[in-house]
Amino acid sequence: MSKTNEKLPDLLAEAVLKGSSPVPQGLVKVDGINYSKPEATDMKASDLINSMKKMGFQASTLGEACEIVDKMRSWRGKHIDELEEYDRKGSFDENGYQKTTIFIGYTSNLISSGLRETLRFLVQHNMVSAIVSTAGGIEEDLIKCLAPTYLGDFTLSGSTLRDQGMNRIGNLLVPNDNYCKFEEWIIPIFDKMLEEQEEYVAKHGKDCLDANTDVDSPIWTPSKMIDRLGKEINDESSVMYWAHKNKIPVFCPSITDGSIGDMLFFHTFKASPKQLRVDIVSDIRKINSWSMEASRAGMIILGGGLIKHHIANACLMRNGADYAVYINTGQEFDGSDAGARPDEAISWGKIKVGAKSVKVYCDATVVFPLIVAATFANGKPLLKPEETD
């Protein structure tokens, strides 16, 4: 006969069935979406993300990112009339109240993708204050106004594509002809910019090249050059067009690291012995000053590398950003800035201690459209001031 009341060995009881301490107050129960409920049918983005907040993993960080973005864009400070004249700096809303200066940074592959249209929406509607991009993030936006980028496949043969004059960006394809069209478009603009530069130098002397303080002078900086290209493209599908239209500065310290750099290189031969001068020092002063003057500063970083650090380092000049949302797939085991979590930036003073920050580990093309749909584009009133702190 079997023993039905045999005692469980003490070792097993201790190892497997160890009792729990009392559950701390305030812990949230893991929960997901009940698709059986009528309200779960064809949900709005904001409702979907709200339902994902308790799922755990990156679903929960996505929800947290949306909360931070909403706080970032909703914060309001004093009215401009309440401030002394020397304090009337930073960003103000249409009613004259201080608002968060929002820096958005993105890498070139995201403009090559269909995320370009999401970014254009933000710039078109003045929802961000300043942009930092790589050179590819500038030129690919302009090139798309001249010729399309196509969907391909990650597995296409590089040697075959080379023979076909096709360039692969992940699973996207860009014909070489697109860059030929870009050259035809941009070189005459460089000619005109050089002409304006030389006329200015002739009038003010060569010393003006070493003291570029005149905002309207044709002594070019990357941001001035990009603004000019946005003006010249004159195409409402372009992010750069709307940046020019809305006077949103676009910073690109790596302006020569791409097709624009190729075109500047080609232009040195065409224009020799003269050449365009591009002053990067004036732009670092400009972006750092924007950060220092901000009443509050927020960072939305899509990707990593130069764009991430350039914004974070600007925020260091004001002792850190007040809000930060990172979206990338980088890991920090190799010590890279791209993979670093917000906590590392806090150690440098690039994000304030106590600031609202999160990193979402995901491809930005997957989650950023959801974030924008649930926040900037949700059509709902902004949070009340007391809800943003």
**209 touches 219 (CB < 8 A):** yes
For residue 8, the 8-state DSSP code is P
Task: List b or e across 44-81, with b for residues whose CB sees 16 or more CB atoms inside 10 angstroms.
Answer: ebbebbbbbbeeeebbbbbbbbbbbbbbbbbbbbeeee
3-state class percentages of the chain: helix first, strand second, coil last, to nearest 5: 50, 15, 35
Angle, in degrees to the nearest 10, between helices 222-233 and 135-146: 10
Q: Is 135 exposed, middle or buried (0-12, 13-18, 19+ CB in 10 A)?
A: buried
**76 touches 98 (CB < 8 A):** yes
> Mapping DSSP to helix (H, G, I), strand (E, B) and coil, where does residue 105 land?
strand
How far is the C-alpha of 380 from the C-alpha of 33, rounded, in Å? 22
Catalytic annotation, pick one of 99, 144, 308, 350? 350
Any catalytic annotation for residue 350? yes
Q: Is 230 left (phi over 0), alpha (psi -120 to 50) or beta?
A: alpha
Distances 244 to 126, 149, 183 between C-alpha atoms, Å: 11, 23, 21
Instruction: Tell me which residues are annotated as active site.
Output: 350
